[in-house]
Amino acid sequence: MLAGCARREAPEIRIAVGGAEQLVYLPTTLAQQLGFYEAEGVRVKLESFPGGAKSLQALLGGSADVVSGFYDHTLQMAAEGRKLKAFALMLHYPGMAVVVAPQKAGAIHRLEDLKGAAVGVTAPGSSTHMLINYLLVKHGLAPGDISAVGIGGGAGAAAAVEHGKVGAAVVTDPVLTQLLKRNPNLRILADARQAAGVKEIFGTETYPASVFYSTTEWIERNPGAAGQLASAIRQTLEWMQRHSPEDIAAKMPPAYRGEDSAIYVEALRNSMPMFSPDGVMSAEGAEAVKKVLSLSLEKVRVANVDTAQTFTNELIKLK
């Protein structure tokens, strides 16, 4: 067959990831490692950013088609009149924890003690920032009572905590497990990796976190591609339910596992409960996120966002 008659290659879908090395975004990379995107007939290019806020900027700026980021960004943008929609859920728990830098352990015992402190977040405006804002308000403080410092989500975050560049930080795994290994007495002020912590922090059974989201316009223009991405993520989540943390870790890029693969496996084992088994969002979970954001963000509080317009399960259930 002449080259000109060959089947035209599918266009590449650019996916911005809010810190690909973090376990909260593991299914995005694992789907590629397992070949599920390719099997679905889509070509993807994953680009990692230092936090979800930067990934969102890439989408709004036109340099990304889809974001692997946290669901709360769709609500924040809806409050500004921008139509974004989540179409595949990866985490039904946020997988974040607020930890105290060892040097500040004598001064910071409770969330209330964070007043005046520098607190590390992946990037200002990211979901880690939203979590600490919520916790501050819940404990009688205001977001302005701290200085939020962008420290990323990988090795830089661990270094910022251990070297005392921040008084506390919102971190995810594998950084959290690495910190605990090296600092067994590390103080954790809030832990949203499992059901009990999520219930204590948010008062709900589920709290949708990392998702695939895009503009409503892109999804409507590319329903087939969006459905193929959702299917690849659902297959990945189902594969994870059938395999051990060791099996999952072995499939990930060596750079993500770091220098100590055993710590990565342990972090994954600790974090397994946070992964959705099927990729389906719940209306109750969406409302819980809206409630949390409304407490710390006036624009969400006054906008009366209709959460039903910010996510869909139609694509994840196609096959």
pLDDT tens digit string along 79-106?
999 999 999 999 999 999 999 999 999 9
Q: What is the pLDDT of residue 9?
A: 66
Q: What is the pLDDT along the chain (319 residues), one digit of tens a residue?
A: 334 444 456 779 999 999 899 999 999 999 999 999 999 999 999 999 988 889 999 999 999 999 999 999 999 999 999 999 999 999 999 999 999 999 999 999 999 999 999 999 998 988 899 999 999 999 999 999 999 999 988 889 999 999 999 999 999 999 999 999 999 999 999 999 889 999 999 998 899 999 999 999 999 999 999 999 999 999 999 999 999 999 999 999 999 988 889 999 999 999 999 999 999 999 999 999 999 899 888 999 999 899 999 999 999 976 5
**CA end-to-end distance (rounded Å), the chain:** 33
Sheet strand arrangement including 84-89: 43-48, 12-17, 66-70, 210-215, 84-89
* pTM more than 0.85: yes
* pLDDT on residue 232: 97
What span, in angstroms and rounded, lies between the C-alpha atoms of 296 and 142?
8
**Quick one: pLDDT at residue 5?**
40
pLDDT of residue 42: 96
| 70 and 141 Cβ atoms separated by less than 8 Å | no
* Domain 3-93+207-309, classified CATH 3.40.50.2300, yes or no: no
Per-domain residue ranges of the chain? 3-93+207-309, 96-191
pLDDT, position 10? 73
Pairwise CA distance, residues 140 & 142, whole Å: 7
Using the CB atoms, write b or e for 5-30: b if 16+ within 10 Å. eeeeeeeebbbbbbbbbbbbbbbbbb
Q: Give the pLDDT score at 260.
A: 87
Helix axes 175-182 and 261-271, enclosed angle (nearest 10): 120
- For 26-58, the pLDDT digits (tens) are 999 999 999 999 999 999 999 999 888 899 999
Q: Reduced to 3 DSSP states, what percent helix, strand and coil does the chain have, rounded to the nearest 5?
A: 50, 15, 35
Of the candidate CATH numbers 3.30.420.40, 1.20.1090.10, 3.30.750.210, 3.40.190.10, the domain formed by 96-191 belongs to: 3.40.190.10
Q: Is-same-fold flag (3-93+207-309; 96-191)?
A: yes
| Residue 22: both structure tokens together | 């973090």
* Residue 171 to residues 2, 84, 166, 214, Cα–Cα distance (Å): 53, 26, 12, 25
